[in-house]
């Protein structure tokens, strides 16, 4: 009967490669505490340190046939834990940056969406009031606003004087300002 507690690491690795569960158990018992302390010192989180160590030993068992040691077993295990810690920290950093980015997007898109909804509602109300203007005034105002025609071009198209066109535009703006205040004027200006 082999006494695994007295075997050197190299002998334990040889037995491990042969699928010897007792050799694996001895390696686990020999190094799990030290590896956990090392992981905990870096991570400052018991659960994460535990996971790193257990994951390492799970991989050690499943990939035991491919195990190639370029150093002592202890050096290999410490390096493996270190690599897992680095991976975990970089993953947490990426996840954290993603969450910050996502929160920024949520915060700003909600404000932007709210702004667009309000602007669309205001635009719809203004359109409704424009459609309620007297027909000639509405035609002049829409040509001025939608077609971006000058007063002279509108006068020519509708066979009116420039002064009448100007009066219709000013009266339309006065009516809209009376209903919506300065916002209507600003919306009117922003669309030109």
Q: Single out the residue in 97, 119, 147 at which a domain terminates.
A: 97
**pLDDT bucket at 192, cuts 50 / 70 / 90:** very low
One domain, residues 134 and 65: no
* Strand intervals (E) in 16-105: none
Q: Tell me whether residue 185 is in a domain.
A: yes
One domain, residues 181 and 117: yes
pLDDT for 132 equals: 85
The pLDDT tens digits for 152-191 are 998 898 898 989 988 988 888 787 777 766 655 565 555 5
Specify the higher pLDDT residue, 147 or 115: 147
Q: Tell me whether residue 102 is in a domain.
A: no
pLDDT for 189 equals: 52
pLDDT for 114 equals: 66
One domain, residues 82 and 111: no
Residue 37 clears pLDDT 70, i.e. is over it: yes
- Enter the pTM of the model: 0.52
One domain, residues 173 and 111: yes
pLDDT for 24 equals: 96
Do residues 25 and 4 lie in contact, with contact meaning Cβ atoms separated by under 8 Å?
Answer: yes
**pLDDT bucket at 147, cuts 50 / 70 / 90:** confident
One domain, residues 39 and 92: yes
Q: Tell me whether residue 24 is in a domain.
A: yes
Residue 57 clears pLDDT 80, i.e. is over it: yes
The pLDDT tens digits for 79-136 are 999 999 998 888 888 777 777 777 776 666 666 666 677 767 777 777 887 888 888 9
- How many structural domains comprise the chain? 2
Query: How buried is 154 (Cβ within 10 angstroms: 0-12 exposed, 13-18 middle, 19+ buried)?
Result: buried
pLDDT for 187 equals: 57
One domain, residues 112 and 80: no
Read off the CATH number of the domain in which 56 is found.
Answer: 1.10.1740.10
Alpha carbon 142 to chain centroid, angstroms? 42
Q: CA 35, CA 159: separation in Å to the nearest integer?
A: 92
Name the residue range of residue 92's domain.
4-97
pLDDT for 2 equals: 86
One domain, residues 111 and 91: no
Q: CA 95, CA 110: separation in Å to the nearest integer?
A: 22
Q: Single out the residue in 79, 97, 115 at which a domain terminates.
A: 97
One domain, residues 83 and 127: no
One domain, residues 87 and 148: no
Q: Single out the residue in 60, 76, 97 at which a domain terminates.
A: 97
Query: How buried is 74 (Cβ within 10 angstroms: 0-12 exposed, 13-18 middle, 19+ buried)?
Result: middle
Read off the CATH number of the domain in which 141 is found.
Answer: 1.10.10.10
Specify the higher pLDDT residue, 146 or 69: 69
């Amino acid at each position: 009967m082999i006494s695994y507690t007295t075997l050197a690491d190299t002998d334990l690795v040889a037995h491990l490669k042969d699928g010897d569960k007792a050799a694996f158990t001895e390696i686990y018992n020999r190094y799990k505490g030290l590896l956990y302390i090392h992981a905990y010192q870096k991570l400052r989180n018991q659960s994460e340190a535990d996971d790193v160590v257990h994951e390492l030993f799970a991989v050690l068992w499943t990939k035991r046939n491919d195990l190639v040691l370029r150093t002592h077993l202890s050096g290999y295990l410490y390096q493996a834990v270190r690599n897992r810690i680095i991976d975990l920290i970089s993953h947490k950093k990426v996840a954290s940056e993603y969450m910050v980015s996502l929160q920024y997007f949520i915060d700003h898109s909600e404000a932007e969406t709210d702004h667009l909804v309000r602007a669309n509602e205001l635009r719809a109300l203004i359109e409704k009031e424009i459609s309620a203007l007297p027909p000639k005034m509405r035609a002049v105002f829409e040509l001025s606003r939608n077609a971006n025609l000058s007063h002279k071009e509108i006068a020519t198209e509708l066979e009116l004087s420039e002064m009448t066109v100007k009066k219709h535009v000013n009266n339309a703006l006065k009516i809209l300002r009376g209903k919506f205040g300065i916002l209507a004027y600003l919306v009117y200006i922003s669309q030109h």
